[in-house]
Amino acid sequence: MELQDIIKPENKVYGKPSLMNETPMHYCPGCSHGLVHKLVAEIIEEMGMEEDTIAICPVGCAVFAYRYVDVDWIEASHGRAPACASSVKRLWPKKLVFTYQGDGDMACIGTAEAIHAMNRGENIAMIFINNAIYGMTGGQMAPTTLMGMKTATCPYGRQADLHGYPLHITDIAATLEGTCYVTRQAVNTVPNIRKAKKAIRQAFENSLKGKGCSLVEIVSTCASGWKKTPQQANEWMEENMFPYYPLGDLKNTVE
């Protein structure tokens, strides 16, 4: 049997979502962004929402998210994606509107916009990639950097007296009356990828149905920023990040 004989539709076990285009990704090997992008593309396709999605990306590593998924994108200024999404959703109430932000974008420079969009109960879905570091600018300390963790701007490890404490923005989100669904997920294993997909899907459904604001945190790796191999990064995340940012639903008022 030749290779060509095997390539048949009935033998297909896995495919790239059709909304993912052919542009080579700029993400580093082992980065969680690519996986989350794929989940987003798959879900929009499965929901049949291609013509009814408005996606808003951040400043940070995901600044180029718009290159990879074939839906209409807005590239917001640093930290302001939730403000941008608020007006978009209010002006286009029938659309699926979601933001895609990293920890620096959402939990530092854009904290006010994130908290107030959530607290107003904007009917948007917010995807929050937390890898505890500024990836794009070269591995500086993030609001979510763990205590003792070394980065370019806390080279001797994060210390409370010098740098303060990691910000638990997802926990804060769960206390806000405007949020309907707040969950923390990861994409490090196949079961976790499935769970993360289910969570993003629910957040998207909530946006469409006008249930309030949903926040899906994805505890993520940054192999380059952490100066580790992809495999080491996954292990480090499980050992250090998960105890500090435990996975699971923090709030779900929809079901």
Partner 1 sequence: MDEKKNDYVLLKGNEAIAKAAIRYGYDGFFGYPITPQSEVLETLAVDKPWETTGMVVLQAESELASINMLYGAGCTGKLAFTSSSSPGIALMQEGISYMAACELPGVIVSVGRGGPGLGTIQPGQADYNQAVYGGGNGDYNLIVLAPNSVQEMCDCMGKAKELTFKWRVPVVVLSDGVIGQMMEKVLLPEYTPRRTDEEIHQQCPWATNGIGLKNRHYNVHSSLEFDPLVMEERNHKMTEKYARIEAEEVDYEYYMADDAEWLIVAYGISSRVGMKAVDILRKKGINAGMFRPKTLWPFPNRVLFDTASKYKGILCVEQSEGQLVKDVRIAVEGQTYVSHYGRSGGMIASPVEVYHAFKKMMEESVNSKKGYWIK
Chain residues binding partner 1 by CB under 8 A are 50-54, 56, 63-64, 66, 70-77, 80, 83-88, 90-92, 95, 112-113, 116
CA angle, corner 237, sides to 59 and 234, nearest 5?
Answer: 95
With contact defined as beta carbons under 8 Å apart, do 89 and 124 qualify? yes
- Give 53 or 183: the residue with its C-beta nearer to partner 1: 53
Please enumerate in sequence order all residues whose Cβ is within 8 A of that of 2, keeping only pairs 6 or more positions apart, or say none. none
> Which stretches of 23-168 are DSSP H helices?
33-47, 81-91, 103-104, 111-119, 160-163
- Give 81 or 223: the residue with its C-beta nearer to partner 1: 81
- Give 35 or 63: the residue with its C-beta nearer to partner 1: 63
Rounded to whole angstroms, how far apart are CA atoms 13 and 200? 23
Q: Residue 125 pairs with which residues in a beta bridge?
A: 98, 214
Considering the complex, what minimum distance in angstroms separates the CB of residue 136 from partner 1? 11
| Helix (H), strand (E) counts: the chain | 11, 9
φ and ψ of 165, to 5 deg: -110, 160
Question: Which pair of structure tokens corresponds to residue 178?
Answer: 């405007």
Considering the complex, what minimum distance in angstroms separates the CB of residue 101 from partner 1? 13
Considering the complex, what minimum distance in angstroms separates the CB of residue 114 from partner 1? 10
Strands 96-102 and 125-130: parallel
Considering the complex, what minimum distance in angstroms separates the CB of residue 148 from partner 1? 33
With contact defined as beta carbons under 8 Å apart, do 42 and 85 qualify? no
Considering the complex, what minimum distance in angstroms separates the CB of residue 254 from partner 1? 24
Considering the complex, what minimum distance in angstroms separates the CB of residue 172 from partner 1? 15
- Give 54 or 219: the residue with its C-beta nearer to partner 1: 54
**CA 17 to centroid of chain Cα atoms:** 18
- Give 83 or 193: the residue with its C-beta nearer to partner 1: 83
- Give 126 or 132: the residue with its C-beta nearer to partner 1: 126
